[in-house]
């Protein structure tokens, strides 16, 4: 495929960079190289995440047909390559809700737990984990109801808490996360294959670390709930205060391998940019903070770099909703780009793209959006007030009539947000 010229087709070039970043994170390119040999006993495949179905399909294709293989993974609705008409395989695929857990996730998780019964030292468990697994692998701890977890998840999503904070709370209110699923698999050997969507690529944070020892504590989870003023039921508070919901601190017979990271996807985009002679500035793969604040920061930096230049960054920003606020559509990447656009105010020669590598920004249908120096001018002709859309957290309906949304559909992978600022 011919790469669009950054000077003649800047938005096309940015979209090509995004495709390269997503391509680098697809399990089909890398997962098979990380598979261990078949064990003497049977192999059980379990897991959860937006990439879990595509990861499971790679395992099936690479696994020797004569070697015993079975299992179940959970993915987000619509994130199964091939869709509902796909032929059945040796590894079952269940679909559930994200980002707030639902009963389908609970039912599928109960089935996974049942599959771990009777494992022996001769058996192997392959655990396939990626972003989104925290809500999909849903089994509340004793004394915690699904309704409790749904309310807390919704409050955390509105609070502005970062992913590590949210997952700290989630794992301490779970019967399977925070290393508990790994403990259930004993005495089998466990190999966790992970696609990272978290800043720092910390394994205990990816999908809330169901098969990974957890260094955080019930006290940490309580502190986060208090910091963001999130109310919880008395039974939930008692379980945390007593330490009854403490996570697993040690696991034996466990190996983990992170097979795709945000930085690797940024590197793939950088390589494409350098091939056409652009200088690349890596801002970082783990930027966090309020989406609109990060957008303003990146706009300020874009004004100051030496031209021509491509700025790349990743990470996971947040959108905080105040009491009583109702968000429109768009998600954190699209909101970041709208704030970036407003802050630049039509500065010449700067184009940008911000999108989520899983193909879904928040709960909308777009991955993100692109902008250019003429975006505000074109919006004014359509009587679109950029600041009003930002105030209402409705960036989707700002960029949609401009035909500047990035729409890919689910990519069946997830290495978090991707941002590219082209300064010509």
Domain range list for the chain: 10-24+262-423, 39-260
On the CB side of 17, CA atoms within 13 Å amount to 35
Q: What mean pLDDT do residues 299-315 have?
A: 96
- How confident is residue 278, by pLDDT bands cut at 50, 70 and 90? very high
- How confident is residue 362, by pLDDT bands cut at 50, 70 and 90? confident
Report pLDDT for 264.
97
Q: What mean pLDDT do residues 94-122 have?
A: 97
- How confident is residue 1, by pLDDT bands cut at 50, 70 and 90? low
DSSP for residue 142: T
Residue 326 in this model has a pLDDT that exceeds 80: no
Distance CA 95, CA 80 (A): 8
Torsion from C-alpha of 237, 238, 240, 242, nearest 10 degrees: 160
Residue 92 in this model has a pLDDT that exceeds 80: yes
Q: What mean pLDDT do residues 359-364 have?
A: 88
Distance CA 299, CA 306 (A): 14
Residue 323 in this model has a pLDDT that exceeds 80: no
Tokens 């017979």 sit on residue: 253
Q: Cis before residue 369, ω within 30 degrees of 0? A: no
- How confident is residue 82, by pLDDT bands cut at 50, 70 and 90? confident
Q: Residue 90 CB: number of other CB atoms within 10 A?
A: 15
What are φ and ψ of residue 18, in 5° steps?
A: -60, -40
Distance CA 93, CA 53 (A): 6
Superfamily of domain 10-24+262-423: MOFRL domain (3.40.1480.10)
pLDDT digits (tens, 9 = 90+) for 169-205: 999 999 999 999 999 999 999 999 999 999 899 999 9
Report pLDDT for 336.
98
Residue 2 in this model has a pLDDT that exceeds 70: yes
Q: What mean pLDDT do residues 332-359 have?
A: 97
Report pLDDT for 321.
87
Report pLDDT for 305.
94
pLDDT digits (tens, 9 = 90+) for 6-60: 999 999 999 999 999 999 999 998 899 999 999 999 999 999 999 999 999 999 9
What are φ and ψ of residue 13, in 5° steps?
A: -65, -45
The more confidently predicted of residues 83 and 378 is 378
Under CATH, to which class is 39-260 assigned?
A: alpha beta
Percent of the chain residues past pLDDT 70, beyond the cut = 100
Q: Quick one: which of 219, 239, 243, 339 has its CA closest to 289?
A: 339
pLDDT digits (tens, 9 = 90+) for 375-420: 999 999 999 999 999 999 999 999 999 999 999 999 999 999 999 9
Pairing mode, strands 69-76 and 254-260? unpaired
Q: What mean pLDDT do residues 301-313 have?
A: 96
CA distances from 311 to 118, 267, 314, 355, 408 (A): 52, 12, 11, 14, 22
Pairing mode, strands 189-195 and 124-129? parallel
Q: What mean pLDDT do residues 68-83 have?
A: 94
- How confident is residue 363, by pLDDT bands cut at 50, 70 and 90? confident
């Amino acid at each position: 495929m011919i790469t669009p010229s950054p000077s003649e087709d800047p938005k096309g070039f940015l979209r090509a960079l995004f495709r390269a970043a997503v391509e680098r994170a697809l399990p089909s390119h890398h997962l098979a190289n990380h598979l261990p040999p078949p064990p003497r006993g049977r192999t059980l495949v379990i897991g959860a995440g937006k990439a879990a179905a595509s990861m499971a399909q790679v395992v099936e294709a690479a696994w020797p047909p004569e070697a015993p293989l079975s299992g179940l993974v959970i993915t987000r609705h619509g994130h199964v390559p091939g869709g509902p008409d796909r032929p059945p395989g040796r590894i079952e695929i269940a679909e559930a809700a994200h980002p707030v857990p639902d009963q389908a996730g609970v039912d599928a998780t109960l089935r996974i737990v049942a599959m771990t019964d009777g494992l022996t030292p001769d058996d192997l468990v392959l655990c396939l984990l990626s972003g989104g697994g925290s809500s999909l692998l849903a089994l509340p701890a004793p004394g915690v109801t699904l309704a409790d977890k749904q309310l807390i998840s919704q409050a955390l999503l509105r609070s502005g808490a970062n992913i590590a904070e949210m997952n700290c709370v989630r794992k301490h209110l779970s019967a399977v996360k925070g290393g508990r699923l790994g403990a259930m698999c004993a005495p089998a050997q466990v190999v966790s294959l992970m696609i990272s969507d978290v800043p720092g690529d910390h394994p205990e944070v990816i999908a809330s670390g169901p098969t990974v020892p957890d260094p955080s504590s019930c006290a940490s989870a309580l502190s986060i709930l208090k910091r963001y003023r999130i109310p919880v039921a008395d039974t939930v508070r008692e379980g945390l205060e007593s330490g009854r919901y403490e996570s697993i601190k040690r696991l034996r017979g466990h190996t983990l391998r992170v097979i795709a990271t945000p930085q690797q996807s940024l590197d793939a985009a950088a390589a494409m940019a350098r091939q056409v002679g652009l200088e690349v500035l890596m801002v970082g793969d783990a930027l966090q903070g309020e989406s609109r604040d990060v957008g303003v920061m990146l706009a300020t930096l874009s004004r100051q770099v030496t031209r021509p230049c491509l700025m790349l960054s990743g990470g996971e920003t947040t959108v905080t909703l105040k009491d009583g606020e109702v968000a429109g559509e768009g998600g954190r990447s699209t909101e970041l780009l709208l704030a970036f656009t407003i802050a630049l105010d039509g500065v010449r020669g700067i184009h940008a793209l911000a999108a989520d590598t899983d193909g879904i920004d928040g709960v909308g249908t777009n991955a993100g959006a692109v902008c250019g120096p003429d975006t505000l001018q074109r919006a004014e002709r359509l009587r679109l007030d950029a600041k009003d859309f930002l105030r209402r957290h409705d960036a989707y309906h700002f960029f949609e009539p401009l035909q500047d949304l990035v729409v890919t559909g689910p990519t069946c992978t997830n290495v978090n947000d991707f941002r590219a600022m082209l300064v010509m």
